[in-house]
Amino acid sequence: MVTRALAVRFPLQLHLALAALILSACSPGTAPPDVVNVDGGGGDAGTSADAPVTANNVSGTRLKARWVTSADGLKTFQGWKDSARGEDCGWNFTGDGVLRCLPYTNLTDYGDVFSDAACTQAAVLAYTATCVTYSTIRKVDSTVCPATTRFFARGAQVSAAVYYRKSSGGTCTSYAISADQQLWRVGAELGPGSFTGGTVSAVQGTGTVGYRRIDAEDGAKAFRVLEDLASSKHCYTGVASDLQYRCLPNDVAGLGSQYSDGSCTQLVAYTSANACPKPPYASAFDSTTCPATVSVYSTGASLSNLYDRSSGSCMAATPWGGYSYYSLGAEVPASSFPIATPRDGQSFGRLTQRLFEYGPQLRLQRDIYDSSLGRQCYATTAGDGQLRCLPNEDAAVDAYFADAACTQPVAIQYSATGGCPPRWAARYNEAECPQRVYAYRLGAQFTGQLYEKPAGGVCVTRASSPNARYWRVTGEELPANLVPLTLLIDP
């Protein structure tokens, strides 16, 4: 079944694993003694069979690796810290075309908000943050390839009741600023030299999959991306349509809801309109299987005539602005992509560092597995304010209930059919600083009348979403039952 990818809220650990594949992970001051050296640098390549390649990340004079540790000896990479700016950062291109470690926490200027009635003074509209201080504003230029990012200082807050947007026809229109929003002016641009740059190494490794690292100008060394050595294409680890973990291509188009033919039988592929060449592949995410799978298709010629079924029948459609469309070719056999073998690494008490192996000397961190929970877990601030390893699920406890008094909470999972049944759900409390996450145990699927009680509101009936499933909550997983962790930053 081909379906559009669902937007789910992934916890930090999974974001970091994806970032390690796509953006580039960054790492520590001195490689730990149990490192497997896969990049040809110093160290004993036979020291340990259990260390992922990200353990070879090395801090520089400015960029410092962040690690999560446990009392039993777990040490796992958790991103980069720019010690000069005092903020976490990740790798991306700046306007001068150089890879730099750029701030994670920032506001985004989309170029369509202004603070004045003439629409000449650029501004950013943001929701009020409880404890996050935004010191920078970013502006992304996706018309170039690769996309680049410029950073600006956050200017003064505008004390006004309205902000302005400019229509495509040039009309400047005011809109009310809600009580939970703030308007900020865009300050002076921060030159690319404000951030640490780096260059991408030649591909490292032999066999079917290699990798590239970033050599930063301050001496730091950071994992960048995996590479399929047969095709020389960057790749990430995912479950292919044959239910095998494989290194699947990064450079892909998405599958839309529009078609290339007047019978509405041939889906089209699409990408944001930019200067990049046509991606060779398109991918489709199927959330009805357990685990969810990815199918890869070839892409064909550019399209200008599209069709859709929005009116119930197949009709000509106007292409969405800002996108490029391509015909969809045949599915590429899953066997075309290199196998990634999942296996257990070293255990530290009840936590095991699980890995993906791409050959005898190349391993990448998969996740952390908690044997007591029987589930993978990720590092975040638990309900008691302590950093702990919380169960990793895609269900959330929000404001839904199974009874008319709104006393029996129900968790929501954004997967309409199939998929893996969740055993835990998370509740995010953004009113606390730092944001805390509460874990709840789940029972049977709930299919009855749903009720909703917004904060400070009354209990009312709510129609179930056709794109979601609901689960009964059986109780809170007490923080004391979850493994405590410590965040360490290299000196």
User: Which pLDDT tens digit goes with each residue over 78-106?
Assistant: 999 999 999 999 999 998 989 999 998 89
Return the higher-pLDDT residue of 69 and 420: 69
Distance in angstroms (rounded) separating the CA atoms of residues 488 and 355: 22
Closest CA to 198 of 106, 80, 279, 85: 80
Is 313 in the same domain as 242?
yes
d(CA 101, CA 415): 35
Residue 345 maps to a domain: no
- Report the percentage of the chain scoring pLDDT > 70: 88
Does residue 119 lie within any of the structural domains?
yes
282 sits in which H/E element: strand 281-286
Q: Kindly state the average pLDDT of the residues 235-257.
A: 95
Q: Assess contact for 145 and 275: CB atoms under 8 A.
A: yes
Mean pLDDT over residues 159-186, rounded?
Answer: 91
- Whether the per-residue pLDDT at 311 is higher than 90: the answer is no
Q: How confident is the model at residue 404 (pLDDT cuts 50, 70, 90)?
A: very high
Considering the domain architecture, whether residues 393 and 477 belong to the same structural domain is answered as yes
Q: How many CB atoms are located within 10 Å of the residue 123 CB? A: 24
pLDDT score for 26: 30
Q: For residue 19, name the pLDDT band (cuts at 50, 70, 90).
A: very low
Distance CA 301, CA 310 (A): 24
Would 4 be classed as within a structural domain? no
Question: Do 320 and 272 contact (CB within 8 A), yes or no?
Answer: no
Cα separation, 458 vs 461, in Å, equals: 10
Contact 74, 385 (CB under 8 A): no
In a domain, 311, yes or no: yes
- Specify the length of the chain in residues: 491
Q: Which helix (H) or strand (E) holds 13?
A: helix 12-19
For the chain, the average pLDDT equals: 86
Domain range enclosing 253:
231-336
pLDDT of residue 32: 26
Nearest to 477 by CA among 402, 406, 401, 375: 375
| Closest to 422 in 3D by CA, of 391, 450, 447, 457 | 391
- Give the rounded distance of the alpha carbon of 109 from its chain centre: 20
How many other CB atoms sit within 10 Å of the CB of residue 144?
A: 13
Rg (CA), the chain: 24
pLDDT (mean) for 371-376:
95
Last residue of a domain, one of 314, 336, 358: 336
CA-nearest of 484, 488, 473, 489 to 384 is 484
Q: End-to-end CA distance of the chain, in Å?
A: 50
Considering the domain architecture, whether residues 248 and 314 belong to the same structural domain is answered as: yes
Vertex 117 angle, CA 111 and 122, to 5°: 25
DSSP structure class, residue 126: E
Category of 170 on φ-ψ map: left (φ > 0), alpha (ψ -120 to 50) or beta:
left
Tokens linked to 244: 């095998």
Of 145, 173, 194, the domain-final residue = 194
Q: Give 200-210 pLDDT, tens digit per residue.
A: 999 998 899 99
Residue 353 has pLDDT above 60, yes or no: yes
Q: Which residues pair with 173 in a beta bridge?
A: 165
Tell me: do 101 and 183 sit in the same domain: yes
Please tell me the least confidently modeled range out of 123-137, 299-313, 321-335, 398-412: 123-137
Is residue 261 located within the same domain as residue 174? no
Residue 257 in any domain: the answer is yes
**DSSP single-letter state for residue 21:** I
Q: For the residues of 188-252, what is the DSSP string, one character each? A: EEEPGGGS-EEEEPPPB--SSEEEEEEEETTS-EEEEEEEETTTTEEEEEEEBTTS-EEEEESSE
More confident residue, 24 or 331: 331
Residue 300 lies in a domain: yes
Lookup: tokens for 449: 């009348």
Q: Are residues 250 and 313 in the same domain?
A: yes
Domain end position, chosen among 336, 351, 375:
336
How many domains are there within the chain? 3
Residue 85 lies in a domain: no
**Spatial separation of the C-alpha atoms in residues 53 and 39, rounded to whole Å:** 8
Q: Give the C-alpha separation, 126 to 341, whole Å.
A: 43
**Residue 36 or 176, more confident:** 176
The SS3 call for residue 331 is: strand
What confidence category does residue 475 fall into, taking pLDDT thresholds of 50, 70 and 90?
Answer: very high
Residue 173 lies inside a defined structural domain of this protein: yes
pLDDT of residue 477: 93
- For residues 272 and 319, membership in a common domain is answered with yes
Sheet holding 123-127, edge to edge: 107-108, 136-141, 148-157, 181-190, 123-127
Confidence of residue 42 (pLDDT cuts 50, 70, 90): very low
Q: How far is CA 202 from the centre of its chain?
A: 26
Whether the Cβ atoms of residue 284 and residue 270 lie closer than 8 Å to each other:
no
pLDDT grade, residue 416 (50/70/90)?
Answer: low
From residue 318, give the alpha-carbon distance in Å to each of 153, 259, 260, 325, 479: 39, 11, 12, 12, 52
Q: What is the mean pLDDT of residues 403-423?
A: 88
User: Average pLDDT of 286-303?
Assistant: 92
Structure tokens at 403: 């009874």
